[in-house]
Amino acid sequence: MTTNGGSSGGGRQARLTITPSVGDYNSLVYWYKTVSAVKATRNGFVIMLARHVPSLAFKRWLYRTIGMKVGNHVSFAWHVTPDLFFPELITVGDNTIVGYNTTILAHEYLLHEWRTGVVQIGANVTIGANCTILPGVVIGDGAVISAMSLVNKDVPAGATVGGVPIRPLSVSKRPDQQDD
Ligand SMILES: CC(C)(COP(=O)(O)OP(=O)(O)OC[C@H]1O[C@@H](n2cnc3c(N)ncnc32)[C@H](O)[C@@H]1OP(=O)(O)O)[C@@H](O)C(=O)NCCC(=O)NCCS
């Protein structure tokens, strides 16, 4: 499970599947027509459990049971929240850290439409605490996302980005790049 950060072109918007709301009100009102209530309830229980258990191995196993593609040695920190309705659209590569309280969305229910998109997070990625990752985003291997960031576009492999929305950060030398 590796990725170079979206070099296939088009970016997040091009990866979204967009469907009009099925009724007169905001699209989330009709969520039960887009995903089964049984699936949403099961996912909700699994995610709530995973948010609270300390064992990283158990969390990886729990997330795999609801369809997420989770690599080896991935660390999901306390209170991470993956997508409730479409966790199967999320991939996280080997040895990646997802920081405290980060939300990974694979759907967006908007007023007149709802959207889904795969989220591909590469290997050896660092995602800081309290980030929000939007559907359709590709994060390349080895990227660093600073705490409190909105990831609304692709992140190239090896890049360091941060902010709301993300911008390149000037970090002179990262701890994992120190000379011997
Ligand atoms: C990205 C990160 C690793 C960079 O840390 P660092 O290497 O010590 O670098 P600095 O803090 O010096 O930041 C480098 C520059 O980016 C800026 N920066 C950092 N985060 C930023 C943000 N979210 N928005 C805007 N600028 C930011 C800093 O202000 C600094 O700018 P300056 O050089 O003009 O002062 C760190 O900011 C971070 O977010 N760590 C995540 C920790 C975390 O949540 N881990 C998960 C726990 S489970």
pLDDT at residue 174, rounded to an integer: 57
Indicate whether 179 pLDDT > 70: no
Cα 60 to ligand 1 centroid, rounded to whole Å: 27
Please name every residue paired with 161 in a beta bridge, in sequence order, or none if there are none: 145, 168
Please tell me the pTM assigned to this model. 0.90
Cα 97 to ligand 1 centroid, rounded to whole Å: 16
Cα 7 to ligand 1 centroid, rounded to whole Å: 25
pLDDT (tens digit per residue) in 59-118: 999 999 999 999 999 999 999 999 999 999 999 999 999 999 999 999 999 999 899 999
Spatial distance between the Cα atoms of 36 and 169, rounded to a whole number of angstroms: 41
Indicate whether 178 pLDDT > 60: no
- Positive or negative CA dihedral for 129, 159, 167, 172? positive
pLDDT (tens digit per residue) in 106-161: 999 999 989 999 999 999 999 999 999 999 999 999 999 999 999 999 999 999 99
Out of 72-76, 96-100, 165-169, 174-178, which region has the weakest mean confidence (pLDDT)?
174-178
Spatial distance between the Cα atoms of 154 and 79, rounded to a whole number of angstroms: 24
Is residue 148 in contact with ligand 1, taking CB distance under 6 Å?
yes
Helix 56-65 and helix 37-52: axis angle, to 10°?
Answer: 170
Please check whether residue 69 is in contact with residue 91, taking contact to mean a CB–CB distance below 8 angstroms: yes
For the segment(s) 2-168, the CATH number from 3.40.640.10, 2.160.10.10, 3.30.450.20, 3.90.110.10 is 2.160.10.10
Cα 151–chain centre separation: 9
Q: Which atom of ligand 1 is nearest to the CA of 78?
A: 48
Domain boundaries, the chain: 2-168
**E strand spans, 8-158:** 17-20, 69-70, 75-76, 81-82, 90-92, 97-98, 103-104, 107-109, 113-116, 119-121, 126-127, 132-133, 138-139, 144-145, 150-151
Cα 156–chain centre separation: 15
Q: Which atom of ligand 1 is nearest to the CA of 174?
A: 7
Full strand arrangement of the beta sheet holding 160-162:
75-76, 97-98, 126-127, 144-145, 160-162, 167-168
Radius of gyration of the chain (CA): 16
Indicate whether 180 pLDDT > 60: no
Is residue 171 in contact with ligand 1, taking CB distance under 6 Å?
yes
Site to substitute for ligand 1 among 130, 169, 172, most atoms within 8 A of C-beta = 169
pLDDT (tens digit per residue) in 10-42: 799 999 999 999 889 899 989 998 999 999 999
Is residue 150 in contact with ligand 1, taking CB distance under 6 Å?
no
